[in-house]
Each structure stands twice: as C-alpha cells, then as structure tokens.
Amino acid sequence: MQTRQLGKTGPVVSALGLGAMGMSGMYGPSDRAESLATIDAALEAGITLIDTGDFYGMGHNEMLIGEALRGGLLKGNRRDKAVLSVKFGAQRDPGAGWIGFDGRPAAVKTSLAYTLQRLGVDHIDIYRPARLDPDVPIEDTVGAIAEMVQAGFVRHIGLSEVGVETIRRAHAVHPIVDLQIEYALITRGVEDKILPVLRELGVGMTAYGVLSRGLISGHWDKDQGKAKGDFRAYSPRFQGDNVDKNLALVEALRRIAQEKGVSVAQIAIAWVAAQGQDIVPLVGARTRARLSESLGALDVALSADDLAAIERAVPRDAAAGARYAEAQMAHLDSER
C-alpha cells in the first residue's frame, strides 16, 4: 500500500482512505454484512485511514466500525491497523432531522466520550468538528480537543469544511494535521484560496466526494438516489437538467478512461491523488466490488498529456448545480 503523511505533524496513512458514511443509511439502505466485509477487505488491503462521524446513523457507523475492528476470534483486534478519523458536533433529533451544530468545549468532550465507547477504543487518531459552530470561537473548540490530546484521548486534530481564516486561527491554537473537504474533478473551489493556505501552513487534505457521491463514478443512472433516506434526492447536481449535463461530462471522461484501459471511477480518483502528495482521497465504497475498483486507482499513472485531456473533457466549473442545497451551502464556512 502506498502511503502519504497528513501534514507536517500528522500520521502516515494509506494513500487512499475509506469513508464509511454510506454504510449507515445516508445513501439509502445498506447491507450490514457487506459493510463489515468491506471494512474487513479494506484493512486487509492495507487501507489504514477510516473516516466516520458520530452523527452517521446516530452512532450506528461508529458501532459498525468498532465491530469490524474487533474482527472476531480468528482475526483478533485490529485497532492497530486503523487510523480513525472522527467528525463530531452535528446535532440530530429522534426523527433523524438535522437541528444545528454544537462546538462548545463541554459538548466536544461529551461527544468524544460517547465516540470512544461506541468504537470500543481508548483514543481517536484524528478528531475534528464537522462544521464551524457560528456561536463558538474556533479557538474554544480546538482548545478543548487540545486538552483531550494532552489527556491522551486524541492523537491529532483536524478540521472539516472551513475557510482560510478559520484554518489560520485553529492552527495558531494547536497544529492541525488535515482539512477534510470536498474535492473532485467537478468540485474545485478549494484550489483558489484554501489549498494554498494549507500548503503554506503544512496542513494536509483528506478529500471526500472524489466521485461526487457516485455522480462521476461511471455507474450512476437517473433511477438511482431515489431510495428513502438518500440525501442525493435533494442535491442540485442530481436534479432536473443538471443531472443530464453532469452525466455528459462523465461520458467525456469515459472515453479517456477507455483509452487507458481503466474505469471512470479509477481515473476520477487518480486525478484527485495526482493533485499533490499532501492529498489523500477518501472513497465511500459500500461494497467489496466498489472498494476493489477504487483500489485500482492507485495503479493509474496520469501523464501530463492525460491530465490535459481530462481538463479538456471536464473543465473546471463545468458542473451543473451546487454541491449542496442552498440552505446547506449557507452554513459552510469553506464557501465564505
């Protein structure tokens, strides 16, 4: 397995990470046995970075990962094989609705306590607020995590979906090892201001949405995403004429992939990985088949000519529709 370091002070992790969100209902129903088998296959393949959030399935995702890490009698505990990245702070109600964010120091420590219990571990490798709490200074939130670092319950601090001012303020309190943010061929806003600041400060990036929630995977069709609980039904990129325009971009990308003898998903993942050694793509594979395909991206070498051809096929800002619904975009510090 190829490896990359997260920032100047962060851990060395696999060059591809597994994002487990989709295993807990965010994309509609998931299969528990297949989810466990997929996490198992990822660990066996050498993937070390596993990303989750305490609000994915209201704790379901953490308990699932904890079960996979325990591995059963034959495999034994595999905690030492995993670098656990956990997001916290999103508040949900019993009906699975989203009701805000809590980044207060006391809430940070409470969330961490429950996360450690659900995962069945004694520390989290990278702990990060999922969003910026507009009512709590980032210094207070990061300061509380720093106290947990000193206490041994957390190893490193990360951020998620925040802008340059917040990154600088947080990094001044405690070294930040990585920013988790959406980055893909059709989502490139991070290149303008955020990525240069990350590199200036020595902060890495874990890129989620590298396949744009399946849209540019090469497997998407318009009948997908309609299952109950699949939030893509509310995503502008999957609605109306937007989805047709975006799928046309996928077909242009498919021609390049076919010439190289690889899949669309593999070339899309490889493109993100090729943007810098300080970037680790997260893939949201929910099945062993999709995981195997994603792992194949690590063997895809893109030449300067390949990168130019991809740029022509999928120009920057070519995507139709925003990456989140308008109300959600308004809450993203990274978009300010």
Contact 92, 98 (CB under 8 A): yes
Distance, CA of 49 to CA of 34 (rounded, Å): 19
Q: Scanning the structure block, which residue is given the tokens 């992790």?
A: 13
Q: Quick one: DSSP state of residue 122? A: S
Q: Among 58, 74, 63, 64, which Cα is nearest to 34's? A: 64
DSSP string for 46-97: T--EEEEETTTTTTHHHHHHHHHHH-HHHH---GGG-EEEEEE-EEE-TTS-
Query: Which residues does the annotation mark as catalytic?
Result: 56
For 61-65, the CB contacts below 8 A with 24+ separation are 61/20, 61/21, 61/23, 61/24, 62/86, 62/115, 62/118, 62/119, 63/118, 63/119, 64/20, 64/23, 64/24, 64/32, 64/35, 64/36, 64/39, 65/20, 65/39, 65/119
Retrieve residue 187's tokens: 């989502």
Retrieve residue 89's tokens: 């702070």
- Dihedral-angle region of residue 262 (phi above 0 means left; psi in -120 to 50 means alpha; beta otherwise): beta
Contact 321, 235 (CB under 8 A): yes
Distance, CA of 315 to CA of 175 (rounded, Å): 35
Enumerate helices (H) and strands (E) in the chain, giving the number of each: 12, 12
Distance, CA of 144 to CA of 167 (rounded, Å): 16
